[in-house]
């Protein structure tokens, strides 16, 4: 089973003026991203404001993205939630639509123990033939998935990767050291991409790649081809934008940035709110530094 690529963009969901899903803009953005450094797209994730989307909208978004770019790139659907049954249902729907894989977040709010996490992911994997990426983001879920649990899950044939956003490089190093070589560890934080590559990571599920996908791809390629000094140089160069698009809750800044550069993606659904004036000026100045505005 092949890997998903190196630069996967966690795609925002474009909205129209009435805060409805804009499927035309969704198609345009998907094409733009694969033309600008992305090996694949992760749709219906945190960056896509998935908690505010209803099932019919999720299906329409997946159908639009698969129809637009499914023959050119890898499309991964975020189908996990805190409900095992609901996760299975959404995973089945995504498979019917024709995605290439699914991403399953660690269940949030209900805080299952490690054995519960194992059974949750095992149950979903049994109901799909799609390759699965686990998603560990304890800052949002309040539950970390332990290295031992990931190793148990890696024994299941179609669980092939993890997006690691714990911010714990030691944990990531333990994962890459103990997992099989054909199990792929992706950075879930743009600013930790290079450090995670250095301990054996595969790539990144990126937010910044909406804006600097080609440069992130170049950094990863340079590192893997042994040009570490070039990779470090690029990482330093990208540092300001890695920081800038997280000056407040994601995806607020990246949506603002896309609108600033002319890739109109609309606003945000409540409870998210727009950048304030000072945040907007900080972000605009960062984008100017990269000649994006």
Mean pLDDT of the residues in the chain: 97
Query: Does the residue 88 lie in any domain?
Result: yes
pLDDT digits (tens, 9 = 90+) for 22-33: 999 999 999 999
Query: Which phi and psi angles does 287 have, rounded to 5°?
Result: -65, -35
Please state, in angstroms and as integers, the Cα–Cα distance from residue 192 to each residue in 89, 166, 183, 210, 250, following that order. Answer: 33, 10, 19, 17, 16
Question: Is 245 within a domain?
Answer: no
How confident is the model over 7-18, as pLDDT tens digits? 999 999 999 999
Residue 85 has which token pair?
A: 């049954």
222-268 pLDDT, tens digit per residue, is 999 999 999 999 999 999 999 999 999 999 999 999 999 999 999 99
Kindly state whether residue 33 falls inside one of the protein's structural domains.
yes
Is 169 inside a domain boundary?
Answer: yes
287 inside domain: no
pLDDT of residue 1: 45
Domain that holds residue 151: 7-231
Please tell me the total count of domains within the chain.
1
What is the Cα–Cα distance from 159 to 129, expressed in whole angstroms? 10
High-pLDDT (> 90) share of the chain, %: 99
CATH number at residue 27: 3.20.20.70
Q: Tens digit of pLDDT per residue, the chain (293 long)?
A: 467 999 999 999 999 999 999 999 999 999 999 999 999 999 999 999 999 999 999 999 999 999 999 999 999 999 999 999 999 999 999 999 999 999 999 999 999 999 999 999 999 999 999 999 999 999 999 999 999 999 999 999 999 999 999 999 999 999 999 999 999 999 999 999 999 999 999 999 999 999 999 999 999 999 999 999 999 999 999 999 999 999 999 999 999 999 999 999 999 999 999 999 999 999 999 999 999 99
Residue 251 lies in a domain: no
Instruction: Return all residues near 208 (Cβ < 8 A) that are at least 6 apart.
Output: 190, 216, 238, 241, 242, 245, 254
Query: What is the model's pLDDT at position 2?
Result: 67
Give CA separation, 243 vs 167, 237, 246, in Å.
14, 11, 6
Q: Which pLDDT does position 220 carry in this prediction?
A: 98
Catalytic residues: 135, 163
pTM higher than the cut 0.85: yes
Is residue 82, in this structure, part of any structural domain at all?
A: yes
| Structural domain includes residue 264 | no
Query: What is the distance, to the nearest Å, from the Cα of residue 251 to the centroid of all Cα atoms in its chain?
Result: 11
């Amino acid at each position: 089973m092949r890997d998903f690529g190196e630069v996967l963009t966690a795609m925002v969901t474009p909205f129209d003026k009435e805060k409805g899903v804009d499927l035309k803009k969704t198609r345009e953005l998907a094409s733009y991203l694969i033309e600008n450094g992305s090996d694949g797209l992760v749709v219906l994730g945190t960056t896509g404001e998935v908690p505010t989307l209803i099932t019919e909208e999720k299906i329409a978004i997946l159908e639009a993205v698969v129809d637009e770019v499914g023959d050119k790139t890898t499309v991964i659907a975020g189908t996990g939630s805190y409900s095992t049954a609901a996760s299975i249902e959404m995973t089945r729907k995504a498979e019917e639509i024709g995605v290439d894989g699914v991403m399953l977040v660690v269940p949030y709010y209900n805080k299952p123990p490690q054995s519960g996490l194992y059974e949750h992911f095992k149950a979903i994997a049994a109901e799909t033939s799609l390759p699965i990426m686990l998603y560990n983001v304890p800052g949002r879920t309040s539950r970390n998935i332990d290295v031992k649990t990931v190793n148990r899950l890696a024994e299941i044939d179609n669980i092939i990767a993890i997006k690691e956003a714990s911010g714990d490089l030691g944990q990531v190093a333990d994962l890459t050291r103990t997992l099989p070589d054909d199990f792929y560890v992706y950075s879930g934080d743009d600013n930790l991409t290079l450090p995670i590559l250095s301990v054996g990571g595969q790539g990144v599920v990126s937010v910044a790649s909406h804006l600097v996908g080609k440069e992130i791809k170049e950094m990863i390629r340079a590192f893997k081809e042994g040009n570490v000094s070039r990779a470090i140089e690029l990482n330093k160069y990208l540092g300001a934008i890695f920081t800038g698009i997280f000056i407040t809750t994601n995806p607020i800044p990246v949506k603002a940035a896309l609108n600033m550069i002319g890739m109109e993606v609309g606003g945000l659904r409540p409870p998210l709110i727009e950048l304030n004036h000072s945040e907007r000026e900080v972000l605009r100045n960062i984008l100017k530094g990269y000649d994006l505005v």
